[in-house]
Amino acid sequence: MMRLFLIAPAGRALRQMKRGILRFSTLNFALTLPRLAALCPPDVEVKIIDDQIEDIPYDEPVDLVGLTAETPHAPRAYEIAEEFRRRGIPTIMGGAHATLMPEDALQHVDAVAVGECEEIFGQIIEDAKHGQLKRLYKSTGRPSLENLPQSRLDLLKGKRYLPLTAVETTRGCPFNCAFCMVRYMYGRGVRHRPIGEVIEDIKRAPTKFIFFTDDNVVGDPDYAKELFRAMIPLKKWWIGQASITMAYDSELLDLAQKSGCRGVFVGIESVSQESLENANKYQNQVIQYEEVISTFHKYGILVEAGMVTGFDNEDTSIFPQTFEMLMEIGVDLVSFKILTPYPGTAFFKEMEQAGRILTYNWEMYDGEHVTYKPARMTPEELQKGHDWLRRKFYSTSPILKRLFNIAGHPLMLLFSAVVNTAFHFIEWSDFRK
C-alpha cells in the first residue's frame, strides 16, 4: 500500500485560531482534498491533514505528500514541504498559487500540478509509485464535471468543523472582474455538474446545512433554477456565493428561498461606481444597493457583502463613505479586504511593471495587508483605514442596529447575532495582532 498525505496549509492567524477559542475550521476548507482522495486507486491509503485544526504528523510513515494552497498560505506550504523533504519524502503542490506561480513553487517542492487535477492526478500517483515523479504536471484543458467520484468526506470525520456539508455544483463565473483569480483558475464561463449527481450529494449530506463551494452558485441562472427546484423536497438549508444579479430575478429568488437558501455572500466590492467600473464590475450599480439588500431580506436571505478598498481612484475618504453606506443599505455581515494583486494575474503584472509592488512575502497577500503602492494615499493610510473600517463595523452599536433591522426574521436574527458576535470578538481582541 502506498501512503499519501494530503495537506491544507494554514496561515499564521488560522494557526493561532487552532490554539485559541475559535477551535473550528473556516467554511471554505471546501472539497479539494476530499475530491483528490476520491481519485486515488484502492491501493493508496490517504490521510487528510488540515493545518488549521491539527498538527502536521512529520514523523508518521508516508510515501508522498500533496499540498494545496492559495497565495497567502504558500509560505506555510513551503515550510511543510521542506520539512518532509529533509526526511526524504517527495512532495507535490497544486492549487491556485502553484497554478499561477509554478516556478516559485518549484523552488520548494519536488513537483507542481498546474490547473484542475482530475485529468492528471492518476498519472501523478502512478509516477510516485514508481519513484518517477516529474517536476511539472499540467492540465491541458477544462475537465468534465460529469461522473465525478464521491468526495471522501469520510476522511474528515472526527475533525472540528462547523456542522455543514460542502457541495460543488459549478466551476467558473460569467463575469470578468479585473482583480479576481477565478478566470485564471477556471476560465471564463460556467461549467456544470449534472443536477442529478448534485442532488445525490445533498441527499447523502449528514448535516441539515449545505455550503455550496461555487464561486457563483447562480452564474448560470437557468441551471440554478433547475437545481433549486430539485432541492425543494430535500428540506435542506444552504448558503453560498452569488452575484448581485441574483436579486434582479424574482423567480430565482423565490426558488432559492423554497430550496432552503438562508444566506449569500455577494461581492458588492465598493461604494464607488468609478471603482467598480475600473474593476470591470459593471453588473454592480451603487444606486441599487439598498434595494438589492432589501430584496434579499424580503425572501429571508441574509447578505454578507464582500468589500474591497484601495482602488486607484480612492483616497482616505473612502473609509467613512463605505461605513455609512453599509449601514444605510442594511447588509448583515461584511468581509473587508484590501485590494490585492494576486501573483500570476494581469493585475499583479501591471503593478509589477509600474514598480508598485511593495513585498513578495506571499503571506501578506491575504487581503488584510497592503502589498502595493496605492495611487491616492500612502500604504500606511490604506492599512489604517482598512483596520478602522473593520473595527467600526463590528463595534457594538452598529451590530445592534443591524440586528434590530431584521428582528422580524427570527432565524435570520439568530444566525446574524451569532456571526456578528464572533466577528466582534475577532476585531476587538488581540487575536489578529
Q: Enter the DSSP assignment of 169.
A: -
| For range 347-353, the mean pLDDT | 94
Q: At what angle do helices 250-259 and 221-231 cross, to 10 degrees?
A: 30
Residue 256 has pLDDT above 80, yes or no: yes
pLDDT for res 400: 92
Give residue 9's pLDDT. Answer: 94
Whether residue 127 is predicted with pLDDT greater than 50 in this model: the reply is yes
Looking at residues 29-42, what average pLDDT do you find?
A: 88
pLDDT at position 14: 63
pLDDT of 21: 43
Task: Give DSSP secondary structure letters for 258-320.
Answer: HHTEEEEEEEEE-S-HHHHHHTT-TT--GGGHHHHHHHHHHTT-EEEEEEEE--TT--TTHHH
Question: Dihedral (C-alpha) 115, 309, 307, 288: value to the nearest 10 degrees?
Answer: -120
Residue 27 has pLDDT above 50, yes or no: no
**Mean pLDDT for the stretch of residues 48-76:** 94
The pLDDT score that the predictor gives to residue 212 is 95
Domain boundaries for CATH 3.40.50.2300 within the chain: 2-138
The number of CA neighbours under 13 Å toward the Cβ of 131 is 1
- Per-residue pLDDT for 324 more than 60? yes
Residue 30's pLDDT band, with cuts at 50, 70 and 90, is low
Is the confidence at residue 382, as pLDDT, over 50? Answer: yes
pLDDT at residue 29 greater than cutoff 70: no
Residues of the chain with CATH 3.20.20.70: 157-334+385-427
Q: State yes or no: pLDDT of 397 exceeds 50.
A: yes
Question: Looking at residue 13, what is its pLDDT?
Answer: 64
- Please give the pLDDT value at position 10: 87
For 78-87, write each residue's pLDDT tens digit: 999 999 999 9
What dihedral do alpha carbons 312, 281, 32, 196 form, nearest 10°?
A: 170
Radius of gyration of the chain (CA): 22
> What is the band of 429 on the pLDDT scale with cuts at 50, 70, 90?
low
pLDDT of res. 416: 85
Of 95, 151, 118, the residue nearest 362 (C-alpha): 95
Residue 22: is its pLDDT beyond 60? no
Under the banding of pLDDT at 50, 70 and 90, the label for residue 163 is confident
Q: Evaluate if residue 301 carries a pLDDT over 70.
A: yes
Tell me the whole-structure pTM to 2 decimals. Answer: 0.91
Assigned fold of 2-138: Rossmann fold (3.40.50)
Residue matched to cell numbers 474528515: 156
Closest by CA to 217, choosing from 206, 205, 204, 202, is 202
**Structure confidence at residue 17 (pLDDT):** 58
Per-residue pLDDT band for 174 (boundaries 50, 70, 90) equals confident
Please, is 24 exposed, middle or buried when counting C-beta atoms within 10 Å of its C-beta (0-12, 13-18, 19+)?
middle
- Output 382 or 176, whichever has higher pLDDT: 382
Q: Taking all residues of the chain, what is their mean pLDDT, rounded to a whole number?
A: 91
Question: What pLDDT sits at residue 141?
Answer: 81
Question: Which has the higher per-residue pLDDT, 10 or 236?
Answer: 236
Q: Is pLDDT above 60 for 431?
A: no
Tell me what pLDDT residue 152 has: 92
Please check whether residue 368 is in contact with residue 385, taking contact to mean a CB–CB distance below 8 angstroms: no
Domain 157-334+385-427 - what CATH class? alpha beta
Which set of grid coordinates corresponds to residue 349? 503584472
173 compared with 320, residue with greater pLDDT: 320
Mind listing the pLDDT tens digit for each residue in 234-248? Answer: 999 999 999 999 999
Q: How many residues does the chain have?
A: 433
Q: What pLDDT does 384 receive?
A: 97
The answer to whether residue 424 scores a pLDDT higher than 90 is no
Mean pLDDT calculated for residue range 157-178: 86
Whether the CB-CB separation of 412 and 300 falls below 8 Å is answered with: yes
How would residue 16 be classed by pLDDT, with cut points 50, 70 and 90?
low
Residue type, 65: V
At 64, is the secondary structure helix, strand, or coil? strand
The reported pLDDT for the residue numbered 420 is 80
- Confidence check: pLDDT of 91 > 90: yes
Q: What is the pLDDT of residues 100-121, one digit of tens each?
A: 999 999 999 999 999 999 999 9
